[in-house]
Structure 1
């Protein structure tokens, strides 16, 4: 089973994916990349009206289906206001704390296709001018973008093509350490997206016939709550969200194992399907942690809220400092890849 996980290939693909800007609402470029990746492998797919990708592998049983999803959209921002001081006020896309992006380099994507660089800063950054710079609340009133152009006022900004509604993406700063850590923004959920792409590649290259028809759904609106909540075939019985495991005080999840979620803010996940994942991990000696994520929702829970009659579950790599400058370890990616493979090749859950 170890050959399911190609370390170098996975890291290379993850690095390419995290460096493609894709805040929710601005995902055409990354979806095009994924489509071309699948086409190069000879994997057919379809695009939804919302811009997501669904690839389907016909299984030995074509009556009962499975669906696995990961989301490729990320946190980001939009230009809320072109300020008179020649800077930009931002509106969040997705949920994060402003201090998590303070000091980060960014790109403003204009309607014309031009990309302007900038830095996200507090208006009152200079300690030589603002005596209480460190005490001022980090919020949308004080955070702004310093544009790397000669602009002195709002007219100058508009003259270079920047306007309200333009998307702003944050630099990921992707780095792999000799000790096996991967540091980057947007590992949520591009790490899981990479693992699903690698799993599809493995299945295709090795001509593996899955026991059930299985859909791989790359969603693009998860961070704003409605990613994988549509276009679910009626034959789908089991729905797996492959998404990050939350790490922090009181959490069992770590950066070295696959995290299986028993409950998040939407409520418990399907008991029997969750136990099936735990049993598979134990049977195949895959390092895992079972956990509860208190302030979390997934595409699987969105599908349940949308009214789909499916068994739903959630697992994925443990991600440290989620929705900030994130980190995981290669061991966590490997464990997640292994659980993905043994799951899609396993028998479906049979309830008593």
Structure 2
């Protein structure tokens, strides 16, 4: 086995600290500083892009054919669409999430003058006033507004407070860490993935784990709006594994325990050979796993490929119930993911041809096209039937 023991206490503590930092897409400077500082504490130098995507390279035996592991630090949120005559704020979502989960949420709106607390409410929020009309309100961002906890009786009061169109709204995560291992919170997507990566890096640093190639630890800042890893990969990266949430819902095969390995998302199948390798590593290292296909889902891998990166991509996930809502996961999945990352990083390179960006057919991969063998067995009338 090549997997390492994960410090679960560190993983949970790191996740708890990440929850304390608001980081909707477009408002990620503070969490970028935190993650960068944590990586430096673990002993790796950090470099950042202009906008704040993070890269930390852990040297391996060679730079050629480097491997990347990536999570995103940004979360869902909202933005001020307009100042209303009643002193409240109309909103648009940051990322794709339902206003159904926004209703009743506590939040911060960040203005040039500072932050204000507030609550996102349906337009008709008082049962004592609107009676059954409260229950008949449609669901949608046009039917909610933010009540700011300051003297704001009209639009002029909001202007006086410094609130303006475009201000970022960060939704409170409201995390709960239960004794049975369950974690319930908003923004587990993808603060849990960030905590998993840091816990895996900590284990590798403490054990002085050797890797056959450089490992790039990448943290992106705009995955929730589709940009993700579009501008962080370097040309020497041959493979990239994204760490994100899976969806435990009816019709899905994801689970809140073990690793859920994505075989495809809405952009198509993930790399056959890299995904197969991750499955084999789970088997070899006694890591519980299951496979799933996501129809309405994209990740950092998709943005990297669409931006032109010629790298093999895969997606490993922790099963999340009620994704993009008030989410729930289990520590077993987070620990399993961190273990798989350590096993993958140290595993041998099987496709040496990937050391070059382009090459001839020598060493190119193969996929079997043989038909499965079928055994023939007689039925009661003596005719031969095919059976698997």
TM-score with structure 2 length normalisation?
A: 0.88
Compute the displacement of 1:64 (Å): 1.3
Instruction: Report what 2:186 is aligned to.
Output: 185
Cα distance in 2, alignment partners of residues 203 and 230 from structure 1: 26
Per-residue deviation, residues 175-196 of structure 1 (Å, max 9, x unmatched): 1111110011111011111111
Deviation at residue 140 of structure 1 after TM alignment: 2.2
How many residues in Structure 1 have an aligned counterpart in Structure 2? Answer: 351
Pair 1:70-2:71 in alignment? yes
Q: Classify the secondary structure of the residue corresponding to 2:120.
A: strand
| Residue number in structure 2 paired with 1:328 | 329
Q: Structure 2: how far apart are the matches of 1:61 and 1:3?
A: 22
How far off its partner does 1:165 sit? Answer: 1.1
1:337 aligns with 2:347: no
Aligned to 1:172: 173
Q: Deviations over 1:303-344 (max 9, x none)?
A: 111111111100021111100011100111111111111111
How far, CA to CA, are the matches of 2:179 and 2:39 in structure 1?
Answer: 30
Structure 2 unmatched ranges of 5 or more:
352-364, 367-388
In the TM superposition, what is the alpha-carbon distance from 1:9 to its structure 2 partner? 1.2
In structure 2, the residue matched to 1:277 is 278
* Contact 2:109–2:169 (CA under 8 A) maintained in structure 1: yes
3-state secondary structure, aligned to 2:104: coil
Hey, what does 2:120 align to over in structure 1? Answer: 120
The 5-angstrom pairing of residues 243-282 of structure 1 reads: 243-282=244-283
**Conserved? CA contact 2:3–2:285, under 8 Å:** no
Alpha-carbon deviations, 1:74-93, whole Å to 9, x = none? 00011111111011100110
**C-alpha displacement at 1:18, in angstroms?**
1.6
**Residues 122-271 of structure 1: pairs in structure 2 closer than 5 A:** 122-130=122-130, 131-271=132-272
Which ranges in structure 1 are unaligned for 5 or more consecutive residues?
Answer: none
Q: Which residue of 1 aligns with 2:26?
A: 25
Contact 1:24 1:75 in 2 (8 A): yes
Structural mapping, 1:48-59, within 5 Å: 48-59=49-60
Paired residues of 1:4 and 1:341 also in contact (CA < 8 A): no
1:103-154, Cα deviation, whole Å (9 max, x unpaired):
0100111123x11000010011112222321121122222001111121001
* Aligned equivalents of 1:133, 1:18: Cα separation in 2: 32
Q: How is 1:306-321 mapped onto 2 (pairs within 5 angstroms)? A: 306-321=307-322
Q: In 2, distance between residues paired with 1:20 and 1:97?
A: 22
Query: What are the within-5 Å matches in structure 2 for residues 42-121 of structure 1?
Result: 42-112=43-113, 114-121=114-121
Q: Which runs of 4+ in 1 moved over 4 A?
A: none
In 1, Cα distance between the equivalents of 2:284 and 2:210? 22
State the distance in 1 between where 2:97 and 2:33 align: 27
Check 1:186–1:313 CA distance in 2 against 1; reply closer, same or farther (3 A cut): same
SS in 2 for 1:243: strand
State the distance in 1 between where 2:336 and 2:152 align: 49
**Residue 185 to residue 349, structure 1, CA distance change in 2 (3 Å):** farther
Provide the residue aligned with 2:347 in structure 1. Answer: 346
Aligned partners of 1:284 and 1:205: how far apart in 2? 20
SS in 2 for 1:202: helix
Contact 2:4/2:342 (CA < 8 Å) preserved in 1?
no
Q: Report deviation, 1:98.
A: 0.2
